[in-house]
Chain A
Amino acid sequence: MARSKDKGSQEVNAGSMADIAFLLLIFFLVTTQIATNKGLTLLLPPKNEDDEPLEIKQNQKNVFKIQVNSADRLLVEDEPLEDVTLIREMVYDFVLNFGNPSSEKKGNDKVSEVDVYNSLPASMKSYISRSLGSDESSDGPGSAIVSLKADRGSSYEIFIQLLDELNAAYNRIYGERVGLTAEEFRKLNRNNPKEKELYDRARSGIPKAISIAEPSTQGG
């Protein structure tokens, strides 16, 4: 008797399945935070107790000085600067100055500054010989250092802006060296051997020398 009643519908009603799935979907959509592992990287100098401050050992003209005071005002190469975005161009010119490139091979990859110059594409070479190469600026990319000295009272925001500009300048140099735009260079995937080779070729001999100097304790 009971069976005959059941015969009417043997299946589970699946009409509301989509609604249930939608509900779950919306839940996960809302709670998802796709992990962002993106940011500005920085390599700190190795720990070395009796290391003298870089400014003393380095020739002054090889150091590009950026100072920030507690009111977030900039002093770039001892001149006040209002617009942060100008630093990009200045650093680009500073690193690629080749005022007096040495032929001494140094660094991990044993590339001299002369080799670096010869490896640049023609457009960069002509730019360098036309408007750079001054005696006042850096000797070559191997010895150029960008020193960023932020007061203890300056804001993190301006620091990020500066670091962003510096990275932009270096990425542009690296990119142009291998015929890419800065953006394309930045997106190179280092797990891919072909792109890794390009990345290494762009960076060899031009270290990204950004030094975060110890700040003064007095407000400026």
Chain B
Amino acid sequence: MSKFKKKSSSSQDIPTAALPDIIFMLLFFFMVTTVLRETEIKVEQRIPRAEQLVKLEKKKLVTYLYVGKPKDESMGSEPLIQANDAFIDLNGIIQWVNQEKSNLSEAERDQITISMKVDNETKMGIIVDIQSELRDANARKIMYATPQKVEDN
């Protein structure tokens, strides 16, 4: 019995000298993966969930379009379209797409993907209008960005 006690009393605590290093490693991981949001979203975004998601391969080709009710109540309650930092109306979509396309290299222009983040309560009318505008602008690849449905059944 006495032998046991002697052994266990030798060192009781975990060495914490490497703790800062571990924390720093985590810190660097998060620093590297963080993308600070450059655009402020001015429309409501409660996005419906879906199951059959596909991951996009090339992030560079993706541009975002936000649709939803404006957060600022003085703007009314009709859904608006936000591109980058400003609201645009339907007629402005073609011009906006061309502008976004000009940021890409020539070979990639037709592969531009428009990712649409649309609020739950939006009606289909505006979505279909946006689709036909995008079709006219020759941006045919679109994606409805949705989070993964949590499986609960």
Binding site for B on A (CB under 8 A): 14, 17-18, 21-22, 24-25, 28-29, 31-47, 68, 150-157, 159-161, 163-164, 167-168, 171, 182, 186-187, 190-191, 212, 214-215
Residue of A at shortest CB range from B113?
A41
A160 touches B50 (CB 8 A): yes
How far apart are B75's CB and chain A's nearest CB, in angstroms?
A: 19
Partner of B122, one of A36, A45, A155: A155
- On whether A152 and B128 interact (CB within 8 A), knowing A35-B59, A37-B62, A39-B53, the answer reads yes
Indicate whether B19 reaches chain A with its CB closer than 8 angstroms: yes
The B interface is mostly helix, strand or loop, or mixed, namely: mixed
B residues in contact with A24, CB < 8 Å: 27
How far apart are A166's CB and chain B's nearest CB, in angstroms?
A: 9
B53 touches A151 (CB 8 A): no
- On whether A43 and B141 interact (CB within 8 A), knowing A38-B55, A154-B124, the answer reads yes
A156 touches B122 (CB 8 A): yes
How far apart are A40's CB and chain B's nearest CB, in angstroms?
A: 5
Partner of A168, one of B35, B52, B147: B52
B30 touches A25 (CB 8 A): yes
B20 touches A190 (CB 8 A): no
Most chain B Cβ neighbours within 10 Å, of A28, A153, A186, A214: A28
| 115-153 of chain B: CB within 8 A of chain A | 115, 118-125, 127-128, 131-132, 134-136, 138, 140-149
A-B pair count, CB < 8 Å, reads: 152
Q: What separation, in Å, do the CA atoms of A19 and B59 have in the docked complex?
A: 35
Q: What separation, in Å, do the CA atoms of A17 and B140 have in the docked complex?
A: 52
Q: How large is the interface on B (under 10, 10 to 19, 20 to 34, 35 or more residues)?
A: 35 or more
Residue of A at shortest CB range from B51?
A164
Most chain A Cβ neighbours within 10 Å, of B36, B124, B143, B144: B124
How far apart are A107's CB and chain B's nearest CB, in angstroms?
A: 17
Residue of A at shortest CB range from B137?
A47
Q: What separation, in Å, do the CA atoms of A215 and B128 have in the docked complex?
A: 8
B residues in contact with A161, CB < 8 Å: 48, 50
B142 touches A37 (CB 8 A): no
Q: What separation, in Å, do the CA atoms of A161 and B52 have in the docked complex?
A: 10
Indicate whether B4 reaches chain A with its CB closer than 8 angstroms: no
A residues in contact with B118, CB < 8 Å: 156
Given contacts A38-B147, A44-B135, A150-B124, 11 further A-B contacts (CB under 8 A): A32-B30, A33-B37, A36-B145, A37-B115, A40-B52, A40-B144, A41-B142, A45-B140, A47-B138, A153-B125, A191-B57
B residues in contact with A41, CB < 8 Å: 54, 56, 113, 141-143
| 8-30 of chain B: CB within 8 A of chain A | 16, 19-20, 23-24, 26-27, 30
B residues in contact with A31, CB < 8 Å: 34, 36
B residues in contact with A33, CB < 8 Å: 34-35, 37
